[in-house]
Amino acid sequence: MPAADGPVVGDSTRQALALAVASAFRVHLDEELAKPSAVLDHASFGGRNAREISAEIGDRLDARFHPASMSWKPGWNLFRRWSERDGVVKYDEFSFEAYHLIFMARLEDLAEGTPESRQRFLDVTWEVFKQYDYRAKGFSVAFFLDSENNMRELLRLVANEALGTLAEDAWTVLMEQSRAYQMTVHRFFDSILQHSLAENAALLDTVLPRAVQDELKARGRVEPVLHEHVAVLFADFAGFTDRAGRTPPLVLVDDLNAMFAAFDDAVVRHGCDRIKTVGDAYVAVAGMLSDMENPVAPLLQAAIDVVGEVANHNRSRPEPWRIRVGLDVGAVIGAVVGVRRFVFDIFGDTVNTAARMEQLCEPMQIHVTERVVHEAGPGFRFEPRGAMEVKGKGSLNTYYLAGRA
């Protein structure tokens, strides 16, 4: 963040203002450190309790602004009146240790009036906000901005009471500093917002394709889309139901998660897209969410890698996992189903046939239709499996993928 230059005012005005504010701060710190143990002695901020932080700030205050130089003392407590104005916290039941760090940097900036002191003040503000659990405290962004408005007006009251004819120039200093502080708070929460939006977008990308998201946002619904030429992969694990009955759930889920993560990497690596997982089933496509002249070849490459990932995973497992993979190619309908929870899914004869290929597959094999073989290109070898009776399709010639040519 760029440093903000302070206003040009007389050094005597700035020093008088800093002393007056330091005196008001000292009155508060004395009351703060007299609060009961229940308020001050719990672990509070950065691993330290409120008493430790407040005592350290008091020492820094006295070292920088010697009490003997504070000729003016307010008849009221700046922080107590501040909390009363905000109306969110009760002064006697709340500890201000995090804000003490910011306020001390603010005081030092008032005294020095340099671009460097201003930047230190803003940097401290940023770091405190990064560590402060404002959500747990129930503080909103609006609270912090309104709270600064209240503090600025109370500091103006300090200047008016303590500085007499210098008060107007002091108000210029306070206003400029407060504006820089509020801009920093704005930037901090905007950075959180942008980060949250990016995280939400990334999470949404794992659930819905980007084009589907855009249509859903614009229209509130998504029309089903027919895709004429898509390769579809279905995979699941042989014997999964039996394994699930005798394997601790956390172990089972950890294994599945590790393999599905590896499948995702393989699918993305070859320019394909995962559509969904259901239990132990994994579904991916090529040529649907991005145009491909030949969607079969990259999905076959991904299928080979998927089987290879299971083989690699088995090297560290006493009981091997055995995957079955089926592929078909043809027309597919993509649609969003559900109202309360949106799910993007694929439908059609090609999808059903790919699922049948997986169901009729031997473990650790890749079972494909004749259409896949015809479109695969010269980079692959296939072994005929002969005519097979496929539910809903009759007799089909099917093949096992024997490997890359």
pLDDT for 218 equals 78
CA 280 → CA 204, 236, 243, 283, 360, distances in Å? 22, 5, 11, 10, 16
Amino acid found at 110:
L
How long, in residues, is the chain?
405
CA 311 to chain CA centroid, Å, is: 34
Written as tens digits, the pLDDT of the chain (405 aa) is 434 444 444 578 999 999 999 999 999 999 999 999 999 998 678 889 999 999 999 999 999 987 767 678 899 999 999 999 988 889 999 999 999 999 999 999 999 999 999 999 999 999 999 988 877 777 888 888 899 999 999 999 999 999 999 999 999 999 999 999 999 999 999 998 888 888 877 777 766 777 777 777 777 777 888 999 999 999 999 999 999 999 999 999 999 999 999 999 999 999 999 999 999 999 999 999 888 889 999 999 999 999 999 999 999 888 999 999 999 999 999 988 776 667 789 999 999 999 999 999 999 999 999 999 999 999 999 999 999 999 988 999 999 999 998
Looking at the structure, do residues 240 and 198 belong to the same domain, yes or no? Answer: no
Examine the fold and report which residue of 178, 204, 230 is the final residue of a domain before the chain moves on.
Answer: 204
CATH number at residue 230: 3.30.70.1230
**268-277 exposure pattern, b = at least 16 Cβ within 10 A, e = fewer:** eebbbbbbeb
Looking at the structure, do residues 155 and 196 belong to the same domain, yes or no? Answer: yes
Looking at the structure, do residues 177 and 28 belong to the same domain, yes or no? Answer: yes
Examine the fold and report which residue of 160, 188, 204 is the final residue of a domain before the chain moves on.
Answer: 204
pLDDT for 4 equals 43
pLDDT for 337 equals 79
DSSP classification of residue 164: G
Backbone angles phi, psi at 191, to 5 degrees: -65, -40
d(CA 380, CA 398) in angstroms, rounded, equals 15
Name every residue whose Cβ is closer than 8 Å to that of residue 54 and which is 6 or more positions away in sequence: 29, 32, 33, 40, 95, 96, 97, 100
Residue 6, domain member (yes or no): no
Looking at the structure, do residues 170 and 234 belong to the same domain, yes or no? Answer: no
Residue 77, domain member (yes or no): yes
Residue 56, domain member (yes or no): yes
pLDDT for 250 equals 93
Looking at the structure, do residues 268 and 144 belong to the same domain, yes or no? Answer: no
CA 389 to chain CA centroid, Å, is: 49
Looking at the structure, do residues 237 and 360 belong to the same domain, yes or no? Answer: yes
284: helix, coil or strand? strand
d(CA 174, CA 176) in angstroms, rounded, equals 6
Residue 255, domain member (yes or no): yes
Residue 346, domain member (yes or no): yes
pLDDT for 206 equals 67
Task: Extract the tokens encoding 57.
Answer: 């700030």
Looking at the structure, do residues 397 and 252 belong to the same domain, yes or no? Answer: yes
Looking at the structure, do residues 229 and 169 belong to the same domain, yes or no? Answer: no
pLDDT for 2 equals 39
Looking at the structure, do residues 198 and 236 belong to the same domain, yes or no? Answer: no
Looking at the structure, do residues 227 and 368 belong to the same domain, yes or no? Answer: yes
Looking at the structure, do residues 249 and 389 belong to the same domain, yes or no? Answer: yes
Looking at the structure, do residues 107 and 126 belong to the same domain, yes or no? Answer: yes
Residue 258, domain member (yes or no): yes
Enclosing domain of residue 18: 11-204
The answer to whether 328 and 370 have CB atoms below 8 angstroms apart is no
Examine the fold and report which residue of 182, 204, 226 is the final residue of a domain before the chain moves on.
Answer: 204
Amino acid found at 364:
M
Residue 3, domain member (yes or no): no
**Number of domain units in the chain:** 2
pLDDT for 401 equals 97
Strands (E), 193-269: 225-237
Residue 75, domain member (yes or no): yes
